[in-house]
Amino acid sequence: MNETPELSPAEQAVVDPFPELPVDPDVEAAETTTESGVRRARPVHLAPRNIALVAMGGAVGTGLRLLLEDLVPRWGGVPVVTLAINVVGAFLLGLLLEKVADPALDERWSRRARLGLGTGGLGGFTTYSALATDTALLGHGRPGLAAAYAGGTVVAGLLASIGGITLARALRRTADDGQATGA
């Protein structure tokens, strides 16, 4: 028989199954008032200002990616710029998301940075759809190269994001140590 006590709905709402993970404030509800005066919850990420941040960041990130794709030629038929964009983007996203998870930062600033720079800017900058297309095109004549390109991009992106997270944590520790010593 299960000896775990039954939790009320209110108690269940406060139990966090993964307390070691940061809470994502973008999905927490913000109260809004309807025209009839009724208060209801709306996810923060659906606020018009936050949607605009994502759109503006996405436009800048996409524009930068397209510019780089036009400026950097393929190397031996391999779209190295797409690989570089995705790896650099993964590194920057890891760095950004670890940085904005710092509880010492202002929550509104963190949310805006995550939405504008992360979801918008780096979401528009990185391009896994181009990775898939480029892999398919390479696969028609050089399937081994296509597999290496796709697998290498994913592995390099994973390692880059871990590197970004690690760098952000090291920078936070350095800043914390500096504050602790009064520097």
pLDDT band for 38, please (50, 70, 90 cuts): low
Q: Is the pLDDT of residue 5 over 80?
A: no
In total, how many domains does the chain have? 1
| pTM (two decimals) | 0.74
Position 17 in a domain: no
Position 38 in a domain: no
Residue 21 tokens, joined: 């993970």
CA angle, residues 27, 89, 164, in degrees to nearest 5: 80
96: domain range? 48-182
- Annotated ligand binding at 144? The verdict is no
Q: Is the pLDDT of residue 119 over 70?
A: yes
Distance CA 96, CA 111 (A): 11
The pLDDT assigned to 44 comes to 73
The answer to whether 126 and 89 have CB atoms below 8 angstroms apart is: yes
- Annotated ligand binding at 123? The verdict is yes
| Residue 121: exposure state from Cβ atoms within 10 A (0-12, 13-18, ≥19) | buried
Closest CA to 123 of 45, 58, 56, 53: 58
The pLDDT assigned to 21 comes to 53
Position 98 in a domain: yes
Position 89 in a domain: yes
Position 12 in a domain: no
Provide the mean pLDDT of the chain.
Answer: 83
Distance CA 145, CA 139 (A): 7
Position 33 in a domain: no
Position 5 in a domain: no
The answer to whether 56 and 118 have CB atoms below 8 angstroms apart is: no
Position 19 in a domain: no
